[in-house]
Amino acid sequence: MSLATLGSSPVLSISHMRRALQMRERVAEACRLVDSRRTVRGVHIVTNGHLTPEELLSYQAYAASNHVDLTVDSHGMISIRPGEVGEK
């Protein structure tokens, strides 16, 4: 993934943008799956590297809007589980 800087804003490569979009879609689908089916106890997504703080905040906000819990471990694995029963 190549990142070049133009002024103060980073310019992202096509492959990085594609990866970010695919990851966003995977997280969104996993959140919907966990929220819609109580038989699904959790979904884990393995990332290829660490998430940026912006990505993490975005994914956590989406998870919260779907009433599920999203955590990321130190190796970059994203875990999505049903939220607490009282949260719905």
> Is residue 3 in a domain?
no
Tens-place pLDDT, residues 29-83: 999 999 998 888 999 999 887 888 888 999 999 999 999 999 999 888 999 999 8
> Is residue 53 in a domain?
yes
> Is residue 1 in a domain?
no
> Is residue 2 in a domain?
no
> Is residue 60 in a domain?
yes
Domain tally, the chain: 1
Tens-place pLDDT, residues 53-63: 888 999 999 99
CA distances from 24 to 4, 7, 29 (A): 22, 27, 9
Per the model's pLDDT, the better-predicted residue between 8 and 17 turns out to be 17
> Is residue 51 in a domain?
yes
Cα gap 24→55, rounded to integer Å? 8
> Is residue 22 in a domain?
yes
Task: State the DSSP code for 12.
Answer: E
CB 63 within 8 A of CB 69: yes
> Is residue 5 in a domain?
no
Residue range(s) defining the domain that contains residue 59: 11-87
Confidence of residue 8 (pLDDT cuts 50, 70, 90): low
